[in-house]
């Protein structure tokens, strides 16, 4: 462990701030608080984070002072380094176990790090003395994310509507999740391997396909890195057609988003669904809004509120950095996915690897290639459970009443179904 701690300092010596912070992700829990503060302070200075420099300096000077532990933890959470905040806030809570602000901030930090079960246990220790908002909400939300619906429902029954409007969206989010959970429980096992079921509970969206690789080796239906192709685009659109029909959705148009990848996919979707393609207008009803990847879409907030009958389809959904709005249908979940018209790598006959240039043909030609592609899905490694067309179709039928309703909320966590990913 000592060499790992030193590596964070060595990487800072080399000017590699990102590498130092990655090292801290794996070592922060075991480091002495004073050392953690000093290393973090050096990184903060190199990044120009003056507030974190100040908090780190104060904690390094007095590692046992609860206020310094809290201030450091709070700023780390605000700066996106909750994993650094957790050991400091935990130390503060051990000294002052009844201090609500420290307990609250530690729960938030654990949630940001997707350590939802720990957040639930932390809050339940003082559930009788904590306020409904935000603590009751944090309990319900983290219990859902941990897959503990019994605990979530128990605390949701005690959660009054918020008096402050700033919590209205959060209240709506957890109530909708619990309502969707009832539908998902009727549609499948909703256990630690039911990715489609939990994806629906958390996001309200239907997952069209499961990755056919490494299901029992830690992927559980998601991709880590994958190279997309035209056939997979076509297969995703065929699954979209099945889901729309099974859920009783009858769109009249396909709405085209302006970024090139979404424009290509939207034109292809119009061909597969047999619908006219029209420009995207947020308030247009009864339309499929086709996005290749929300990360390429400029006006994502315009997709948050849904028009009547509007269905948002995203082909490639990143699960490690989830989109700001949750799609109503996602073709597949990935950490890194390269589009078929982007630069690709291929093996030459002599075994070398060469980079192929991006496909910059007009969108209409790329869309035509999707429409002409073989929609047969990759059979995968042969060891992954089958995911026939009937699976998403039957799921869509079962959850149709709770699907495609309400605001499309952002969901930052992947929830109780875990998958391997790159750090």
Strand bridging mode 344-347 / 353-356: antiparallel
Does 276 score more than 70 pLDDT? yes
HEC string of 98-153 equals CCHHHHHHHHHHHHHCCCHHHHHHHHHCCCCCCCHHHHHHHHHHHHHHCCCHHHHH
Instruction: Reduce the DSSP state of residue 80 to 3 states and report it.
Output: coil
**Structural contact between residues 319 and 330, judged by C-beta atoms closer than 8 angstroms:** no
This prediction has a pTM of: 0.94
Q: How far is CA 402 from the centre of its chain?
A: 21
Does 410 score more than 80 pLDDT? yes
Burial call 53-92: b when 16+ CB within 10 Å, e when fewer: bebbbbbbeebeebebbbbbbbbbbbbebbbbbbbbbbbb
pLDDT at 193: 96
pLDDT, tens digit (0-9, with 9 covering 90-100), for 28-64: 999 999 999 999 999 999 999 999 999 999 999 999 9
Strand partners, 356: 344
**What Cα–Cα distance (Å) separates residue 277 from each residue in 244, 261, 270, 392?**
17, 15, 6, 25
Task: For 408, list phi and psi in degrees, rounded to 5.
Answer: -85, 100
Dihedral sign computed on CA atoms, order 144, 146, 147, 152: negative
Does 5 score more than 70 pLDDT? no
Average pLDDT over residues 12-36: 95
Average pLDDT over residues 309-338: 96
pLDDT band at 23 (very low <50, low <70, confident <90, very high): very high
Full set of structural domains in the chain with CATH: 2-179 (1.25.40.10), 191-402 (3.40.50)
Does 27 score more than 60 pLDDT? yes
Beta strands in 267-325 (DSSP E): 277-279, 287-291, 311-318
pLDDT at 2: 42
Does 6 score more than 70 pLDDT? no
């Amino acid at each position: 462990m000592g060499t790992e701690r030193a590596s964070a300092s060595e990487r800072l010596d080399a000017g590699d701030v990102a590498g130092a912070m990655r090292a801290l992700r794996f070592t922060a829990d075991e480091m002495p608080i004073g050392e953690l503060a000093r290393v973090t302070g050096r990184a903060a200075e190199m990044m120009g984070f003056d507030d974190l420099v100040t908090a780190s300096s104060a904690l390094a000077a007095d590692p046992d002072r609860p206020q310094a532990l809290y201030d450091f933890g709070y700023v780390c959470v605000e700066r996106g380094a909750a994993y650094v905040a957790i050991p400091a806030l935990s130390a503060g809570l051990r000294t002052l176990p009844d201090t609500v602000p420290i307990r609250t901030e530690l729960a938030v930090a654990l949630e940001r790090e997707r350590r939802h079960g720990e957040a639930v246990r932390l809050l339940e220790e003082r559930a009788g003395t904590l306020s409904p908002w935000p603590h009751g909400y944090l309990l319900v939300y983290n219990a859902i994310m941990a897959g503990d619906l019994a605990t979530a429902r128990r605390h949701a029954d005690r959660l009054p509507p918020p008096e402050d409007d700033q919590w209205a969206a959060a209240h709506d989010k957890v109530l909708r999740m619990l309502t969707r959970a009832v539908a998902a429980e009727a549609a499948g096992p909703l256990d630690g391997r039911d990715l489609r079921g939990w994806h629906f509970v958390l996001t309200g969206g239907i997952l069209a396909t499961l990755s056919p690789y490494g299901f029992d080796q830690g992927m559980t239906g998601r991709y880590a890195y994958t190279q997309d192709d035209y056939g997979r685009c076509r297969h995703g659109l065929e699954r979209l057609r099945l889901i729309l029909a099974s859920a009783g959705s009858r769109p009249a148009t396909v709405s085209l988003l302006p970024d090139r990848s979404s424009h290509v996919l939207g034109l292809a979707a119009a061909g597969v669904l047999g619908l006219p393609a029209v420009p995207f207008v947020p308030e247009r009803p009864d339309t499929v809004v086709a996005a290749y990847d929300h990360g390429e879409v400029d006006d994502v907030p315009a997709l948050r509120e849904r028009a009547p009958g509007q269905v948002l389809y995203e082909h490639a959904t990143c699960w490690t950095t989830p989109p700001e709005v949750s799609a109503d249908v996602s073709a597949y979940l990935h950490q890194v996915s390269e589009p078929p018209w982007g630069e690709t790598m291929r093996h030459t006959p002599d075994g070398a690897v060469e980079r192929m240039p991006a496909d910059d043909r007009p969108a209409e030609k790329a869309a035509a290639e999707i429409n002409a592609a073989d929609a047969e899905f990759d059979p995968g490694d042969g060891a992954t459970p089958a995911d026939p067309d009937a699976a998403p179709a039957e799921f869509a039928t079962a959850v149709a009443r709770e699907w495609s309703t309400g605001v499309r909320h952002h969901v930052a966590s992947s929830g109780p179904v875990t998958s391997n990913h790159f750090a």
